[in-house]
Amino acid sequence: MFLETFKQVIANNGYEVLACGLLAALTGQIIKFILFTAKTKKINFKIFTTTGGMPSTHSAGVMALSTIIGILSGFDSIEFAIAFGYALVIMYDAAGLRRAAGKTAASLNKMMEEFYNHDLRAVGGKLKELLGHTPFEVFVGAIYGITFAYIFHSYIVG
């Protein structure tokens, strides 16, 4: 009963768009946690609040958001064009600028380790290195977001 009422409230409106984007990003973070745990055989709950890694949850969220807007408003609508443009900027940033910043941080950390004889606490600790994504991580996140949006919409209206 509650689930059916919930579906009726969010179906085919802005609530569905918001829920789809947020849930795609959240489930992407869960997938990232599972993949990290399987790969390293260590549990690290900080994965839920960090950037970088597989898949890109920024890409998943914005592509789910733009895809669900396309489904609801039409892929030829102004709303879809705006959302898709926004998604492209976010994905470019994730694979470009933030990735470059992460590489710069890694280089600075290495230099500071050598300069301060491996005592980075003297300068306030290490800089965060895992900021961005590889293009493949962004692509996988985007495909996940698109797939999530279609499945989510069919579940809500079905």
Asked whether residue 108 is assigned to any structural domain, the reply reads: no
Asked whether residue 104 is assigned to any structural domain, the reply reads: no
pLDDT tens per residue, range 74-103: 999 999 999 999 999 988 887 766 556 666
SS3 1: coil
Per-residue pLDDT of the chain (158 residues; tens, 9 = 90+): 777 887 888 888 889 999 999 999 999 999 988 888 888 888 877 776 776 677 888 899 999 999 999 999 999 999 999 999 999 998 888 776 655 666 666 666 666 666 666 655 655 566 555 556 678 888 999 999 999 999 999 989 87
- Closest by CA to 153, choosing from 24, 15, 16, is 16
Asked whether residue 17 is assigned to any structural domain, the reply reads: yes
Asked whether residue 124 is assigned to any structural domain, the reply reads: no
Distance CA 125, CA 94 (A): 24
Helices (H), the chain: 2-10, 14-40, 57-73, 78-95, 97-115, 135-157
- Closest by CA to 55, choosing from 153, 154, 142, is 142
Total of domains in the chain: 1
Q: What is the pTM of this model?
A: 0.74
Domain limits for position 89? 2-96+132-157
